[in-house]
Amino acid sequence: MAFAVVAQAQKEHGKVYNPEADAHADIERAVLVAQQEHKNVLLQIGGNWCIWCIRFHNLVEKNDTLKDLLHDNYEVVHVNYDKNNKEDRLWKELGYPQRFGFPVFVILDEKGNRIHTQNSAYLEEGEGHSVKKISEFLQQWTPAAISGKF
């Protein structure tokens, strides 16, 4: 409960990523919830230093369709990347997603296996992120879609 309160307070004050968070523990918790709720896990990797990361987060939070797609199909973890953790073993375990720039998205199945890494550049259109492209991306990697039940 305390974790959720801290996370919400950070988001309200423009802090989406918690540099002090234990990403390994956060991901483990998300996988456990995903197993119970038959969801996938979406890791949004970036940092509060990344304007595109914040813009993506704000767009999703303000768009009911995107927010519902995330809530219904994914456990979301905002994983902080910065100079203090760039050598963490997590990046190797995730296939070095930072090579795509930020934000970058990694989808894990309900068992914690990496099933997709998404370069956010493909979700952009014009001067920002495209609601249509984000929606398509989220729909394509739902548990139902990857099991053929879409």
Mean pLDDT of 117-126: 96
Residue type, 100: F
Strand partners, 80: 46
- The structure tokens listed for 147 are 């099991």
C-alpha torsion sign, points 138, 140, 141, 143: positive
Domain that includes residue 123, residue range: 23-145
Whether 10 is covered by a domain: the verdict is: no
Contact 76, 4 (CB under 8 A): no
Question: Rounded to two decimals, what is the model's pTM?
Answer: 0.89
Whether 7 is covered by a domain: the verdict is: no
69 CB neighbour count, 10 Å cutoff = 18
Mean residue pLDDT across the chain: 92
- The structure tokens listed for 105 are 């998205």
Mean pLDDT of 83-98: 95
State residue 9's pLDDT score. 40
Whether 14 is covered by a domain: the verdict is: no
Strand partners, 78: 44
Whether 16 is covered by a domain: the verdict is: no
**Number of compact structural domains in the chain:** 1
Whether 99 is covered by a domain: the verdict is: yes
Whether 11 is covered by a domain: the verdict is: no
Whether 9 is covered by a domain: the verdict is: no
CATH number of the domain where residue 65 is located: 3.40.30.10
Whether 84 is covered by a domain: the verdict is: yes
Share of the chain above pLDDT 70, in %: 90
Q: Would you place residue 34 in the very low, low, confident or very high pLDDT band (cuts 50, 70, 90)?
A: very high
14 pLDDT above the threshold of 90: no
Strand partners, 42: 76, 107
State residue 149's pLDDT score. 80
Closest by CA to 78, choosing from 39, 99, 50, is 50
Q: Given the DSSP bridges, would you call strands 74-80 and 40-46 parallel, antiparallel or unpaired?
A: parallel
